Amino acid sequence: MTAHSEGMFPRPLREADLSRVEGVFTDVDGTLTTGHRLRADTVRALERLSAAGLRVVLVSGRPAGWGEAWARQLPVDGVIVENGGLFFLRGARGLRKVYLEPPAERVENRKRLQREVSRVLKQVPGARLSVDSAYTEVDLAVDYNEEARLGDAGASRIESLLRARGVTAVRSSVHVNCWLGRFDKLSATKRFARVAWREKLEPRDGRYVYVGDSFNDAPMFQAFGLGVGVANVRSVLDRIEAPPAFITRAAEGKGFEELARALLARRGRRALEE
């Protein structure tokens, strides 16, 4: 059941209780990026969150290759990529890479996934793999809104055909991400917390925020009591399986910056109170 059919809509970010927040899990495309690019002000917001002692973890459908670069170059504690297929975190011996599934299962799933996606691409005119699918290890992405312009109808048809073949398929703001395996953004986030911080993540306890903008963020919005959508999430609210609890005034990267300012302001007040 969608948010629209249940009459459930996000509340303004100003109503969120951010008093206990220790960290932020954030989507990338359409959430950190603005017009497909990462603005300097958004990077600065990440820097300020990190400098204030807040944990920051990226959670994206983008490839492993992107994730390794982000983990090395951005002020973040870790990066979850390929919709939860694997993640990177900094450890005592440098960057550590963790997969959600064992090697033999990954190999078999990858072979089958490539076959199934190839069959579906032939059925949808103009459909093609994203340029960056060459750098994936676990999932694949069909471009519908980056270089390609297939629209909602094309993306929906791709999702439907893939699901009929037993493939998990869900949209981000730019791609239809598809994979075989028992993982998603939420399961990977919980695994990340266990491995990186030795914590059992309780998404509704108010210690962590999740911020996103699209269909593949629904499991996170459903799990996190502090699920925040940047304003462009409004374009999918009538179709998303689970809406965010709160929404920013601004869209895309500026919406993330708005959330960062709210978190930093609340952290400053807490420091004064202590």
Q: Residue 163: give its domain's CATH number.
A: 3.90.1070.10
Per residue in 36-65, pLDDT tens? 999 999 999 999 999 999 999 999 999 999
> Do residues 91 and 187 both lie within one domain?
yes
Retrieve residue 206's tokens.
Answer: 């108010």
The chain-wide mean pLDDT, for the chain, equals: 93
Q: How sure is the predictor about 195, in pLDDT bands with cuts at 50, 70 and 90?
A: very high
Last residue of a domain, one of 147, 179, 211: 179
> Do residues 256 and 141 both lie within one domain?
no
> Do residues 173 and 187 both lie within one domain?
no
Average pLDDT over residues 70-83: 97
8-state DSSP, 92: T
* C-alpha closest to that of 229 among 23, 22, 1, 26: 26
Stronger pLDDT, 268 or 230, i.e. the higher one: 230
Rounded Cα gap, residues 255 and 172, in angstroms: 17
Give the pLDDT score at 269.
63
Q: Say if residue 128's pLDDT is above 80.
A: yes
Residue 18 belongs to what H/E stretch?
none
Percent of the chain with pLDDT over 90: 90
Q: How sure is the predictor about 271, in pLDDT bands with cuts at 50, 70 and 90?
A: very low
> Do residues 212 and 262 both lie within one domain?
yes
Retrieve residue 272's tokens.
Answer: 């004064």
Give the pLDDT score at 29.
95
Q: Could you list the residue range(s) of the whole structural domain that residue 212 is in?
A: 3-97+183-273
